[in-house]
Amino acid sequence: MFTRLNQIGALLTMGLQTLPQRKSTAGVVVIGIASVVAVLVSVLAIAQGVERTLGDSGRNDTAILLSSGADDEVDSLVSRADYDAIAGMPQVATAASGRPLADGEVVTAFPARFKNSSEEGSVTLRGLGTYGLAIHPSIHISHGRTFRPGLTELIVGAGVARRFRGFADGDRVKIGNSFWTVVGQFKSDNVHDSEVLADVRTVQSVMDMGNDYNSAYVRLKSADELQSLEEAVASNPTLHLETQSEPEYFAAQASGLSAALTVAAYVMGIIMACGAVFGAIHSLYIAADARRIEMATLRAIGFSPGSVLVGFLIEALFLAFAGGCIGGVLSWLLFNGHVVTSMYGGMSQVVFQLDVTAHLVGLGMVWACAIGLLGALLPALSTSRRPVTEALRG
Amino acid sequence: MSALIELRDLSKIYFRGRQKLEVLHQMNLEIEEGEFLALMGPSGSGKTTLLNLIGGLDSPSEGTITVAGQRIEGLGQSELSRWRASNVGFVFQFYNLLPMLSARRNVELPLLLTRLPAPQRRRNAEIALQLVGLAERAAHKPGELSGGQQQRVAIARAIVSDPKLLVCDEPTGDLDRRSAAEVLNLLQNLNREQGKTVVMVTHDPKAAVYATHTLRLDKGALAEAAEASE
Ligand SMILES: Nc1ncnc2c1ncn2[C@@H]1O[C@H](COP(=O)(O)OP(=O)(O)OP(=O)(O)O)[C@@H](O)[C@H]1O
Ligand SMILES: [Mg+2]
């Protein structure tokens, strides 16, 4: 006699061959599952983009010092005296000139107009010191030149130039009551890409900020010196500062945001998935119900209940798989390589690059198959559990 | 002729919650090989129940069922499935064809349970369709066939794997006179020329005329019917 496997194969072939004739029922299942996967994959891609931009950058041998309790640079204050004390510490590397490789920096935000809408967003202006570009080696001038100390000149991150109006070379940018000339553009693989940079002294004086900084950046003699610097700062009673490595700081900035987005992705994904699971269960139930007599007839003819059940489940899995593929492709088409902006530090927009990775699509497929199985299992089980005589009565 | 089917002290009890319903009570019956038996009786008398037991779709509460020398009352689900596949052909009141499949592929279904290669399956299905006079309708879907034609496709499906026994539950119950006569003639031919043993449930005394033998089922027991009148 014939094996189970052959029976399942025969039923499955039959099921798949007749699929075109069941376009509408099958279509409802496929589209439902495709939309869940599209939403889930897209939102997760956003979360991942955020994490990569904020979380995976910075140098281990660069320390950032903020006032105790400040979560980010905007909330922090580092006085001139604090800065001098830090710069004099032995853990700090020295520049070719013999002076310590350390800088005080200021950050402030100003409104700017988006390119593709009439809405206003917010851009961060960072004041860099003498060693700014040495301390932030991720920053590469892509065209034009860098700003000159003492002049109201600035350079623009690629992310800002892409998103906002009025940041082309030679443009004059109004910040507060002052006007700044764009003299160049730069690229950076971290948050600086969404900033504009100028000379710290000029920013302090033009913006009436006094002599204080928001943060101090120092290049360490080596990454191993971080702990010793941390201890030196902590043991100095006049300093109320916290020391972090640059990656630690970026990661801390990212975690709130990307965790929130990841949670949002899952909450949205799960809500959509619930809807789609019930939709899929419903449509599969109707499909199974319409074929109850068919299944009973097959069993009467001599097909085993198990193979009728498994054949039906594999057919549902096939539909789910198709839905998952469509959903994955859809989110890839819609989002891959695209950028979104998001608030950063409560003040400025940061631009994120989205990658719809194979890993994310794979995750979506797992979800799709789980939904398909769950949706098909209930009606198929209830049908195959009934005695064939009862099932035949309809 | 020897008895193809032998029922001994057969009882079937259904439970509805606490309620016990004894549909068949200690029934004894022998059906000879080559017989065409018509089963009649009022609605709810247990005709379908009896037919399902003979066809191995259901198991009795008590008693034994022997078909072609094999006891089937104790077989499990999957053993019964296998037994049905090679020993019984079923014909239902509402044809029970798969609507997505062509007539030929419907007829081919039972052969999917055999090791026959695809071309051989196809040929056997076509021969069976020829036997019921529907060779030219092989490519049609059930929806494109009349009720009588659909029932003849169902009969082709029932005989394609060449079982000795055909079990038919009101095969003409949904058909007009002319189609019913065609189906009954077909069953009679299969009985006379192919030697199929046919057990048929019917409400129609005119249908019973085609049978070689008619029994009445009432209150869980069988009785000989008065000759073709009711
Ligand atoms: N699975 C079941 N559970 C409980 N009771 C059942 C079940 N199947 C049948 N019955 C009952 O058993 C009795 C006999 O049913 P059966 O279908 O065998 O009658 P029948 O003679 O075929 O009737 P009809 O001529 O209407 O088809 C009926 O009272 C029916 O309600
Ligand atoms: Mg009945």
**Which CATH number belongs to the domain containing residue B82 in this structure?**
3.40.50.300
Size of interface A-B (CB pairs under 8 A): 70
Type of residue found at B176: D
In chain B, % of residues over pLDDT 70: 97
Answer yes or no: do A71 and A190 share one domain.
yes
- CA B131–ligand 1 middle distance (angstroms): 33
**Cβ separation of A305 and B52 shorter than 8 Å?**
no
Answer yes or no: do A46 and A76 share one domain.
no
What is residue A44's predicted lDDT score, i.e. its pLDDT?
Answer: 78
Residue B44 pLDDT class (50, 70, 90 cuts): very high
Answer yes or no: do A68 and A198 share one domain.
yes
pTM: 0.70
- Cβ atoms of B122 and B104 within 8 Å: the answer is yes
Question: Mind listing the pLDDT tens digit for each residue in A218-242?
Answer: 999 998 999 999 999 999 999 999 9
Answer yes or no: do A153 and A96 share one domain.
yes
* A241 found inside a domain: no
Question: Mind listing the pLDDT tens digit for each residue in B60-76?
Answer: 999 999 999 999 999 98
CA nearest to A77, candidates A110, A107, A100? A107
* A244 found inside a domain: no
What is residue B180's predicted lDDT score, i.e. its pLDDT?
Answer: 96
Residues on chain B bordering chain A, Cβ-to-Cβ distance under 8 angstroms: 48, 52, 55, 57-58, 77-78, 81-82, 84-86, 90, 92, 94, 96, 98-101, 105, 109-110, 112-115, 157
Please tell me if residue A304 touches chain B, with a CB cutoff of 8 Å.
Answer: yes
State whether the beta carbon of B21 lies less than 6 angstroms from ligand 1: yes
- The residues, ordered by sequence, that sit 6+ positions from A225 with a Cβ below 8 Å of its Cβ are A61, A91
Q: How far apart are CA A171 and CA A179, in angstroms?
A: 10
* B108 found inside a domain: no
Question: Mind listing the pLDDT tens digit for each residue in B150-206?
Answer: 999 999 999 999 999 999 999 999 999 999 999 999 999 999 999 999 999 999 999
Range of the domain at A380: 2-55+253-393
Answer yes or no: do A345 and A283 share one domain.
yes
- Could you give the number of structural domains in chain B? 1
Last residue of a domain, one of A221, A243, A262: A221
- Could you give the number of structural domains in chain A? 2
Answer yes or no: do A89 and A49 share one domain.
no
CA nearest to A197, candidates A176, A218, A177, A173? A173
Question: Mind listing the pLDDT tens digit for each residue in B118-158?
Answer: 999 999 999 999 999 999 999 999 999 999 999 999 999 99
SS3 of chain B: helix, strand, coil, percent, to 5: 35, 30, 35
Answer yes or no: do A180 and A195 share one domain.
yes
Q: CB count, 10 Å around CB of A379?
A: 21
What is residue A56's predicted lDDT score, i.e. its pLDDT?
Answer: 58
Alpha carbon of A305: minimum distance to chain B alpha carbons (Å): 8
Of A2, A294, A305, the CB nearest to B113: A2
In chain B, % of residues over pLDDT 90: 88
State whether the beta carbon of B13 lies less than 6 angstroms from ligand 1: no
Last residue of a domain, one of A170, A198, A221: A221
What is residue B228's predicted lDDT score, i.e. its pLDDT?
Answer: 44
State the burial class of residue A227 (Cβ atoms within 10 Å of its Cβ: 0-12, 13-18, 19+). Answer: exposed
* B133 found inside a domain: no
Answer yes or no: do A17 and A87 share one domain.
no
Residues of B in contact with A14 (CB under 8 A): 98, 100-101, 105
**Cβ separation of A2 and B115 shorter than 8 Å?**
yes
State whether the beta carbon of B202 lies less than 6 angstroms from ligand 1: no
Q: How far apart are CA B110 and CA A184, in angstroms?
A: 79
**Cβ separation of A301 and B77 shorter than 8 Å?**
no
What is residue A339's predicted lDDT score, i.e. its pLDDT?
Answer: 62
Answer yes or no: do A333 and A189 share one domain.
no
What is residue A254's predicted lDDT score, i.e. its pLDDT?
Answer: 64
Alpha carbon of A340: minimum distance to chain B alpha carbons (Å): 48
Of A22, A304, A392, the CB nearest to B78: A304
Range of the domain at B192: 3-96+146-228
Answer yes or no: do A106 and A166 share one domain.
yes
The tens place of each residue's pLDDT in chain A, 394 residues long, gives 457 788 888 888 888 888 888 888 888 888 888 888 888 888 778 777 766 666 556 788 999 999 998 888 888 999 999 999 999 999 999 988 889 999 999 999 999 998 877 888 889 999 999 888 889 988 999 999 999 999 999 999 998 998 899 999 999 999 988 999 999 999 987 788 889 999 999 999 998 888 999 999 999 999 899 999 999 999 999 999 999 998 888 777 766 666 666 677 668 767 776 776 677 667 767 776 777 888 889 999 999 888 888 888 888 899 999 999 999 998 888 877 766 555 444 445 556 667 788 888 898 899 889 888 888 887 778 777 888 888 887 6
Lowest mean pLDDT among A58-62, A164-168, B5-9, B93-97: A58-62
Q: How far apart are CA A124 and CA A173, in angstroms?
A: 13
Answer yes or no: do A39 and A74 share one domain.
no
The best mutation among B43, B48, B204 to test binding of ligand 1, ranked by most ligand atoms within 8 Å of the C-beta, falls on B48
- CA B92–ligand 2 middle distance (angstroms): 10
* B34 found inside a domain: yes
Answer yes or no: do A201 and A264 share one domain.
no
- The residues, ordered by sequence, that sit 6+ positions from B152 with a Cβ below 8 Å of its Cβ are B132, B133, B134, B182, B183, B186
What is residue A87's predicted lDDT score, i.e. its pLDDT?
Answer: 92
* A128 found inside a domain: yes
* A133 found inside a domain: yes
